[in-house]
Structure 1
């Protein structure tokens, strides 16, 4: 423990508390890999932590440095130690940094979801309501009709995630989006962008059991894993974000099937990034005609359909 390190008694109380938190986590990880080697051969030694995450760590331990590591360095230490969100925030608090904001839960989440569903009633565009895991909480009538038939109500709650549903061959999303080479390229760019968005939004949760279980669930669907394991550079992400979505849409009045262009936009419903509405805006005249036709029928009352 920290008390056995020379000079620890002379350390400022805040630094001593922080180092104790780090060492408790490090030793726990070291014990875990003693009988079960880490996939990346981590040993979780003090020297390895120094080399991989915090160059001044050993100096801090022996008292040659008494400067609290920066917030960025603490996040690197937390990544190296594969911290849960609670453990990560405990490190930040020990160093007197503000904790990372957790996602909405309980009554706050339910209120935000209610606001999101109400807002979708006013949108003249196909839209869905998602949480930070990209779980689909609700869809509006225009979205339902654009992708009809869309049997989302028959899919178990735990499987209603955009990332897996858009890969399934038994649902209309992929078939309607990959009808030629250009459309396939736009679909591939869109799903790659969605995967990166999921990773970025949940970066601090990546060592939580629910995250790892969810990723395994995603990877069991079609060819999802090859997209998940792709390395995407920032410049490519920017290009992907700008690509319009190409889709085969049916005009609800004439019955004609047309190629349409749509732009995906995010609409916040609270002070957090999630939950949010993802709406599909028409970019060309065929798309405007299709979306208008979807809203012109008696059945299109723009009610948000909760997927219970």
Structure 2
């Protein structure tokens, strides 16, 4: 809290501000629920708020308690009231807590993306740059060749997203990741982890309009809604798995022989700034077949660079 030990008068002012913010939001949600019934049948009453998020809420309203809710309780109230990021931060500020760090934007985001681009340019592995929405900002040549995807600029904006890469049946990445039973089983795990990663990275944004629009957009993709509806690791309170995650199995083409080989890859994330996003997702080779495919990309590149750009004249 910005003032760790406010006096009694100041504490009452803070509590008054907090309750005003909460009641303003609660009444707004209640009116919205009257016009359009809530899918979970929430009524947004004072008693329901007390039952679901803050057991002392009635005591606070009636003056039997004058203790400002702690930061965790404020976040629980914001979650119950389905606050947007701005509404949540307004609640935190009213209680004199520091607002949650939002994602980078403007010049800071531009600089972070430029730095990520520089780092990715030095990697010898397939890699992409993703933002917190899991949109794909950039992809290196190795990624495009290993997964045989078209250049990003050739894709529509809504297609430049990990969910599209994962779930669209006609997209090369899904087709090449489900070529046999073992690969299909791994793909199922990767799809669930992709959903969990999005939910975990955007848990504070789930009531933002862009979040809802994004889910609606991808709900047209095969299997997406089924995976989205599964209970996530984050919802169960479990940490997202890092170790023991199965390696990615994909069919990739040897650039020298054109032979399709099943290869195993390990996906890692590389941060480039103080925020988690934007970050680089890189794919490391785990078996000999993957190393052969990666080496062939370099050999093919060297061969093309050594070709003369001019026609050879014969004497």
Structures share fold, TM-score greater than 0.5: yes
Query: Whole-Å Cα distance in 1 between the matches of residues 174 and 148 of structure 2?
Result: 13
SS at match of 1:297: helix
Identify if the C-alpha distance between structure 1 residues 300 and 54 changes in structure 2 by more than 3 Å, giving closer, same or farther. farther
Superposition TM-score, scaled by structure 2 size? 0.88
Q: Which range moves more in the overlay, 81-90 or 255-264?
A: 255-264
Identify if the C-alpha distance between structure 1 residues 109 and 11 changes in structure 2 by more than 3 Å, giving closer, same or farther. closer
Which segments of 5 or more consecutive residues in structure 1 lack a partner in the other structure? 1-8, 302-308
Greater Rg over alpha carbons, structure: 2
Residue 244 of structure 1 is matched in structure 2 by 247
5 Å-filtered alignment, 1:125-140, equals 125-140=125-140
1:260 equivalent in alignment to 2:263? yes
**Over aligned residues, Cα RMSD in angstroms?**
2.1
String of CA shifts for 1:161-215, please: whole Å, max 9, x gaps: 1012221122110111111111111111111111111001111111111110000
Query: Whole-Å Cα distance in 2 between the matches of residues 49 and 118 of structure 1?
Result: 48
String of CA shifts for 1:32-54, please: whole Å, max 9, x gaps: 11222111111111011000100
Alignment length, in residue pairs? 293
Residue 204 of structure 2 is matched in structure 1 by 204
SS at match of 2:293: helix
1:286 equivalent in alignment to 2:311? no
Q: Which range moves more in the overlay, 230-239 or 189-198?
A: 230-239
Query: Whole-Å Cα distance in 1 between the matches of residues 228 and 265 of structure 2?
Result: 24
Cα offset for 1:20? 0.6
Indicate which of 264, 269, 274 corresponds to 1:271: 274
Superposition TM-score, scaled by structure 1 size? 0.90
Identify if the C-alpha distance between structure 1 residues 13 and 149 changes in structure 2 by more than 3 Å, giving closer, same or farther. closer
Identify if the C-alpha distance between structure 1 residues 10 and 131 changes in structure 2 by more than 3 Å, giving closer, same or farther. closer
Q: Residue 246 of structure 1 contacts residue 262 of structure 1 at CA under 8 Å; is this kept in 2?
A: yes
Residue 165 of structure 1 is matched in structure 2 by 165
Residue 4 of structure 1 is matched in structure 2 by none
Q: Residue 93 of structure 1 contacts residue 99 of structure 1 at CA under 8 Å; is this kept in 2?
A: yes
Query: Whole-Å Cα distance in 2 between the matches of residues 10 and 283 of structure 1?
Result: 60
SS at match of 1:286: helix
5 Å-filtered alignment, 1:33-182, equals 33-150=33-150, 152-182=152-182
SS at match of 2:252: strand
Query: Whole-Å Cα distance in 1 between the matches of residues 170 and 251 of structure 2?
Result: 16
Identify if the C-alpha distance between structure 1 residues 241 and 174 changes in structure 2 by more than 3 Å, giving closer, same or farther. farther
Residue 300 of structure 2 is matched in structure 1 by 297
Which segments of 5 or more consecutive residues in structure 2 lack a partner in the other structure? 1-8, 305-315
Query: Whole-Å Cα distance in 2 between the matches of residues 16 and 258 of structure 1?
Result: 66
Cα offset for 1:299? 7.3
Identify if the C-alpha distance between structure 1 residues 57 and 288 changes in structure 2 by more than 3 Å, giving closer, same or farther. same
Identify if the C-alpha distance between structure 1 residues 108 and 10 changes in structure 2 by more than 3 Å, giving closer, same or farther. closer
Cα offset for 1:151? 5.1
Q: Which range moves more in the overlay, 27-36 or 125-134?
A: 27-36
SS at match of 1:298: helix
